[in-house]
Homo-oligomer: A and B are copies of this chain.
């Protein structure tokens, strides 16, 4: 089986895909893996070539940002959608997949500056490893290279890409306005994650469908699938920040509590606590500098309400909405992979 070249310490392709679609699905879909591995290796090559600068500092920083052991969920979904729509080669979307991956990475880098993140996927975050100026500038560089890659595509695709980026930025702004404030409720939370996470995945998959020459209804279906999967993914991500294994996640827990980001699980707990504890929860949540005891108390109060299970169920409901969106697509092993990826987004442990 041809696997893409792996970096020292990098996981085998099957393991990476297993993290996205679940190990059972990897077993069932084993015949697809060599094809997908070759697709993703080509996307990686385009990405790496694009990052080369005359300044090794910049190449190194940008490469570091892109090589933090990510699961490459986004390019995997893009090639699966393309092949699921009948493409026998995905070359036509490789530059676009690299562009979306660069945009995603750029926003992670700038988020890590804004959120004072120390770690990402088991390594020092960009601002920690390279300093704040280099992190800001490298994020800009990733954005710029992404748009150069997108220049290969028709205006419609570039605009879908641009609008998703604007959504991302708007999501970040919206998140900033709601920090340390639980009173804005779930509507605010969903607005943030739709923009910060779901919009880019939706735009990437709708763009692939456009490039595949799909009917408008199928383009919309792919976008809707990406949006629901993105929401499921983010709800689960926020749960893992409280209940995940920090070694598997590669970063410390409780970042959202520390940074005052209201997540679905905090909001659900807050809504179900009796008044005295609710006031305590609100007071602790609003503190700018929380002690470890404060974080554990917030978690204990959350546990009391049964919020984690209800929120996990909600992530699964979004995954099923994603699956349902795929109905207009013809049945195929790639469609099956997309089904598993949606369920995997809600079920994953990291």
> Chain A interface (Cβ within 8 Å of chain B)?
53-55, 57-58, 61, 106-107, 110, 113-114, 132-134, 136-141, 143-145, 147-148, 150-152, 155, 158-159, 162-163, 165-166, 169-170, 172-174, 176-177
Are B140's CB and A148's CB within 8 A?
Answer: no
A152 cross-chain contacts in B, Cβ below 8 A: 155
Q: How far is the CA of A159 from the CA of B147 in the complex (A)?
A: 9
CA distance A234 to B143 in the complex (A): 26
A57 partner residues in chain B, CB cutoff 8 A: 173, 176-177
Can you list 5 contacts pairing A with B, beta carbon distance less than 8 Å?
A107-B140, A114-B133, A143-B143, A144-B162, A151-B159
Tell me, in angstroms, the Cα distance from A140 to B139 when the chains sit together: 9
In the bound complex, do residue A144 and residue B143 qualify as a contact, i.e. CB atoms below 8 Å apart? yes
**Minimal beta-carbon separation of A207 from chain B (angstroms):** 13
- List the B residue with the shortest CB-CB distance to A158: B151
Q: Is the CB of B136 within 8 A of A110?
A: yes
CB distance from A191 to the nearest CB of B (A): 10
Instruction: Identify the closest chain B residue to A155 (Cβ).
Output: B151
CB pair B113 A141 closer than 8 Å: no
Chain B residues lying within 8 Å of A137, measured Cβ to Cβ, are 110, 114, 169, 172-173, 176
| Contact in complex: B158, A148 (CB < 8 Å) | yes
Whether B169 pairs with A144 at a CB distance below 8 angstroms is yes
The answer to whether B113 touches A136, judged by C-beta atoms less than 8 angstroms apart, is yes
Would you give the shortest CB distance from A147 to chain B, in whole angstroms? 4
What chain B residues lie within 8 Å of A170 (beta carbons)? 53-55, 58, 141
Assembly CA distance A119 to B301 (angstroms):
46
Complex interface: chain B residues within 8 A of A113 (CB)? 132, 136
Known contacts A110-B136, A137-B110; A145/B173 CB under 8 A: no
* Alpha-carbon distance A57/B57, docked complex (angstroms): 34
B contact residues around A162 at 8 Å (CB): 144-145, 147-148, 151
Contact A58 B147 (CB under 8 A): no
Complexed CA–CA distance, A107 and B159 (Å): 22
A148 to B155, CA, bound (A): 9
Q: Given A110-B136, A162-B147, do A141 and B155 touch, yes or no (CB 8 Å)?
A: no
Contacts of A145 in B (CB 8 A): 162, 166
Return A53 CB to nearest CB of chain B, in Å: 6
Asked whether A173 lies within 8 Å of B136 as measured between CB atoms, the reply is no
Is the CB–CB distance between A166 and B144 below 8 Å?
Answer: yes
Residue of B at shortest CB range from A154?
Answer: B151
CA distance A106 to B143 in the complex (A): 12
Residue among A110, A113, A148, A152 with the most chain B CB within 10 A? A148
What's the least CB distance linking A139 to chain B, in Å?
8
| A163 proximity list for chain B (CB < 8 A) | 148
Cα–Cα, bound, A165→B252 (Å): 35
Docked CA distance A162–B134 (Å): 19
A44 CA / B138 CA spacing, docked (Å): 29
A165 — nearest CB in chain B belongs to which residue? Answer: B144
Give A170 to B62 CA distance when docked, in angstroms.
12
